Structure 1
Amino acid sequence: MANLLMNANNVYMISLFVTPIFFFLTAPITAQEDTKYEECSKPFNCGQMSIYYPFWGGSRPSFCASNHQLKLECDANQNTTIQLGSQTFQVIQYDQVRYTMTMVRIGLVYDHCSSSDLTNTSLDSSLLTYMPNVRNITIFYGCPSSVIANRTHSFLCQDGGDKGAFYGDPRTIKVQDCGGARIEVQVTEGHEPDGGIQGLNKALSKGFQVHYISDARVELCVKCILSNGTCGANDESQFSCFCQDGSEALNCSNHHSDKLNWQRKLCIGLGAAAVSAIAVGIGFYIYYSRQKKKFHLHAVSSSVLSNEISSGPSSKDPEMGCKYFGLHFFSYSELEEATSFFDPARQLGDGGFGTVYFGKLRDGRLVAVKRMYENSDKRVEQFVNEVEILTGLHHQNLVSLYGCTSRHSRELLLVYEYIPNGTVADHLHGQRSKPGRLPWHIRMNIAIETASALVYLHASDIIHRDVKTNNILLDNHFSVKVADFGLSRFLPMHVTHVSTAPQGTPGYVDPEYHEYYHLTDKSDVYSFGVVLIELISSLPAVDITRGRHEINLSNMAIKKIQSGALHELVDPTLGFETDFKVRKMINGVAELAFQCLQSSNDVRPSMAEVLDRLEDIRNDDKGEPEVMDISEDDAALIKNAEPSSPDSNLVTCT
């Protein structure tokens, strides 16, 4: 230990010397770097809203928007507003998944009949378009009492005179005797006004929905984001993708910047030694801290569980785990309120451990609340296990845990960040599936980000144990968040496997784990191989309507690959037959999946090797499509595992 600390101290002293040199060399570059990527990566923040492209305002410059008119303002640091022509609207809801927002006009009193502000709320269709559920209402002003006397949708003016106004559907009303203004306003279907000025104001206060970005720009922006760029517009207000190196393109991954001048090249060379020394120092510090923390987590987790189980069911208290790991402790009533008393309409998913509901906390945060099925010893263990795993990890592709409840609050509840775009399974073969909706470049990105999360877990000595497309969540930019750690296990350093009863989801379980009860990090590799085949085929991992030997997708894929019939497996919407680059990448991914699905875990690649191979496949965009070369040895390894499903005796945990 003394030698270890001495080495760490030496690295630290070296880093103190080289760090100033490194920053001296790189400072001029940073000052000259184009900042558009950095500026447009910042959201417009107001109250609980964080809004990106195609809008600008606040800390977002105008070049971050698709049009300079789409400027947002923040009223009293709480309300988001937008000025469209002569009218001001408040944004009361914002949907980053469907690219819609709900707006309500402000600053107008509708029964002040002589107001000069009485103008139509029609919008510029090149900027915003009404959603199909929007209905037009026409208000007729300057109507004599004889006209409005027998109309329920009428009101008197508050600014003098004996005339008033009434409103209704412009398609069915024709009035000749009202001499004042006629304005058209919009309401949402199902919230049409009902009687008098109160009914009108109530309907208008609900706002109306608009779509704020064209489908063409959505596609361009998604491609930009997936290439690690950020969306904006050039000087001619045409779409542009701002890349991290300061360049502008339509796709950062296909753009090679020519901005590496002699100064940058010089700095790269001179800075390499500095980076290496700093990386060694930081790496040692992280390693030492992680081992210390992991030891502490294991000790506390074991203490919590042993105390709970040994003291009997009446004294189990997962709150102890939540409080120890620094998470917020939610009351049951708070989460009831957030989920509208666990309204079935808010249900997001139903798995082996519990039901997940959409919720909104009092502070405005959108959350996913997992409601455990029962408070048994097993559920308490899974509950504390998930708390322990997630609070010890931080990765951009892992879901964040906000907090939990205690047994004393009637039920075990876990509160996560809300990921709005469903699961990969939803998009491949579920409720959100649609031909062409998930093109190959997005699927490739999903594979790489999922692999990155699993590499991080394995480097932290954690096996997920339930890798599947239902546990891979997608945000509004189709970025990955791996979820559900109820089955995850620590694999201590220098231990080859953990002996434990097989658990997991049929179709994904490692056959060697199932047969020998040996859980290793290669068990996740097998499951990930099934995920790769799903991304290629858009088929579910298990489907009892398929032929007997094809119920398990893994068996079906192995046979197709071995027989040279991969084209029969590939989703025809991916362009496998027409785009040679896509064909080459799919061939590469299929070969990698074949290796992951081998029956012996010794010959499967590690997750780090899988990630490296996926990145190579995506970056290698030259040359002719490859023909897969599956060796006889590989084929023999698979052949022995073909006849039966390894999941036949498992409890389904979907």
Structure 2
Amino acid sequence: MTTEYPILVFLALIGVLPLLVAARAQSCNRSCGSKTLPHPFGFSSACGIRLTCTNSAIFISEFPVQFVNPDTVTLTITAKCNRSFQTLSSLFTHNYAPTSRNAILLQNCSEDMPPCTLPANIGVQTQFESNDCEANNTSTNNISCYMEGKKRAFIDYHNVTKRNCRHFVSSISAESFNDSALSLEVQVVELGWWLHGGCQCSESGNCTQLVSPKTGQQSFRCRCNEGYEGDGYRAGTGCRKVSSTCNAKRYMSDKCGGTTRVATLIGGVVTGAVIMIVVGLVCCCIRRRSKLKARHSAKRRLTEATGNCSIPIYDYKEIEKATNSFSDKQRLGTGAYGTVYAGKLHGSDDWVAIKRIKHRDTESIEQVMNEIKLLSSVSHPNLVRLLGCSIEYGEQILVYEFMPNGTLCQHLQRERGDGLPWQVRLTIASETAQAIAHLHSAINPPIYHRDIKSSNILLDYDFKSKVADFGLSRLGMTEISHISTAPQGTPGYLDPQYHQCFHLSDKSDVYSFGVVLVEIITALKVVDFSRPQDEVNLAALAIERIGKGRLDEIIDPFLEPHSDAWTLSAVHKVAEMAFRCLAFHRDMRPSMMEVAAELERIRTSRWELSEEKYSTASSDVSSCSSSSNLSEKPLSMTVKKTGLESRGLLVLPAPAGSFNSMEMVRNNSPVSVQDPWLSEQSSPSSSSLLNNVIQ
């Protein structure tokens, strides 16, 4: 009996090994260096969508792959003027094609193109001059732009070929987050992808059905439902609960790495099934160990990035519970790098803002670590505080203090409230300038934010400003004047010299802040295609109007600048400062210290003016008191500043007889005489806070 067992095991191995070899031959290679692609992507013939791996870099044709997402693939299309038009055809295959969110840039076309408006600040011309077009300046005038209408999901390749173009230059990818926010990425193309056939998604996944623009065949994509992770495909890893782990009892499930497919191969071979159980257990253990190793590696990187591990690290389950599994009802907004949710962590009644990073790749990890490092090294009342992070299960999540009044951009665009009065706008500008000046001058080495914009200026309960989003920030060096780096940031706010020569300096932040000052004055969108073509870029529009002395044409009517002399004077002085900040040559721009000092001087000038008027009025009253009777004495009133003198939100003393009662003062002043400047809308109770924020 004892000699039979080794023989049975040997026979079982002989029967199973050919099946394992066959399965191995049919498996998809998904690894390229340290990078691993999800199903159905890979680098061998058995993969559903085959890409190219060269020197640990991933390519489609000659174009590097930036991201692979559940429904899109993002490629880098370096601007090149002599690239053959036929190269464009490599982006149109049976499994992927450019989406209609792309603007395809072509050259030397004999047929007219449909309208395709590009904002002036993108710097497309500059991109060409730095490549193969510099030798032939006339060629840059021959560039055409092709875009599809909103009704189509993909670019129609046949319509593009009808234009008889000789060269494919580049592409611009545009993504609209809402009616007022637009993300533009230069030299980037977004490909939508699909698999042919009917839906073959996991039980906990949902299926998106579509028609292939190339073949017209029925196609599909899969994605896991909320609260699950995985690729969503029955042939892939399927979907599993985020908090679940793989174990022996579930080895036949799609949720345990697709071992059902292997079990089917061995069929009814009992001995082979036993072996596959062992293999499944080993796979699960390896996967679990890999996750733990990745988690420890992330913690180690966090410690290395910050110098210590003082930033609290939250359990992913706690984050998931705080956001109700990242429910849309608690979503505050979506940006180019992630989605922000409101939540309450366990044991706390205070709201926090939880940012879930969109792209989970090497670049996004670097940005997260960079932001943690910078925010943990600085402290300023006008910089948003980082409260912690979560780095489990491949997620990158940052937890910030909660800003109940949203962003400056939302208020200027009337997405929240009916508009901000000039005194509040000026205070926000002054506080923001002080925060940026602190980054530039009070820290060694200095920090360059690189993404100053109104949507990154958050407002707390009493509209105090907080500068946020340090993912693109970089440390400057005191011994050099700039850092050479590829242009990153938001269209409309980018320093034109930075975009031209890739030299990052403190003056790049000054330019971006100048755009914010123009926003504060005009309440106009930074990039708006509905304006005339030469006015699409707000910075260019403001420079033209201010330079010609026609600022009044673009001042936000809500401000009523002619209502009093101080407001009109202050608006024009801030516009002059914005004009200096927007100078093309960085040496002509002021430093942020100069900007902050000037804005604070403008802001406090109203209080100085009011004190001067009050002193004059008091002396007049004193000189006339002896000849006036009791009924003719001016109204005496006490103004309680309640700490607002530092914000410049003050009640100007009224001349005698101007008010019949204190109630009239309360009704006609933007500031309550006895109470701090906090309305019910700006300081909601905790029970109604989330609803107000989300609305």
TM-score, L = length of structure 2: 0.43
TM-score calculated relative to the size of structure 1: 0.46
